[in-house]
Amino acid sequence: MKGKRLVTLALTAVLAAAFALPSSATAAKKPLVVGTDPAGDWGQAVDPTLAPAGDALGQDLVEASIAMADKTTVNFIITLASLPPTGGIPEGSRYTWDMNVDGNFLELDGKFTNYTRGACDPTSGQCPPPRDPGMQPFMVRTNCEANEANVTICEEVGIVQATFDAASATITIPVPMELMNAKPGSKIQPGTNIFGGSISTNPSAFVSSSGAPLDTLTVIKTFKIPKK
């Protein structure tokens, strides 16, 4: 009788542990922080007193991280000092993240809304005809180079819809591996942004100016897409 009681207690303990601890196959992996930037440095190169405006615009960069959303999609996460209560500034705040995927340049370029450029952008070979880019669009671009007017021309390979979360002051950009020509084992390494660092935030209508107040963040770590 005592032996049966001990077996029952042991089985109960095993089952309790199984439910209490997440399976390694289903447990979410913590995002890899690939770069950080001090808060309160937005617009320093133009005028240090402008820094508070960076918070109001949702443009003061503090952290960048990368994680797998699922087996075929990579999340690129931009963390800001703050985001407007609405979640973003329509049309006015531009975010770009430059990287190299297995040695090939790739850029994420987006806004909370981007009808000024997303609907019809001759610099990306996507116009005509005009289109509806949707809300929180980020263009996935490659083969970028500056033309004779110093305007960056890129090939757009796709468009994804980001999540702007005011509560956590984050922008999460989900990019299918297919759009990046990536595969399990691929390395996502830092790229060089035209405004400095790897990621930039700045006021923008159709184009952005390096003379305007902005913020940049330098990515220093490589993210490797897991093979399993």
Buried b (16+ CB within 10 A) or exposed e, 82-93: bbbeebbbebbb
**CB within 8 A of 59, min separation 6: which ones?**
42, 80, 93, 201, 202, 203, 214, 215
Q: Which domains does the chain have, with CATH numbers?
A: 30-224 (2.60.40)
Helix (H) / strand (E) containing 54: helix 51-57
Q: How far are the Cα atoms of 59, 79, 110, 118 from residue 83, in angstroms, in the given order?
A: 8, 9, 15, 22
d(CA 146, CA 193): 12
d(CA 199, CA 192): 8
Q: Which residues of the chain have pLDDT under 70?
A: 1-28, 149, 205-211
Tokens of 125: 């070979």
Find out whether the peptide bond into 128 is cis, omega within 30 degrees of 0.
yes
Residue 22 has a pLDDT of 37
Residue 15 has a pLDDT of 33
Contact 37, 215 (CB under 8 A): yes
**CB within 8 A of 101, min separation 6: which ones?**
180, 181, 182, 186, 187, 188, 189
**CB within 8 A of 196, min separation 6: which ones?**
216, 218
Residue 6 has a pLDDT of 40
Q: How far is CA 9 from the centre of its chain?
A: 48
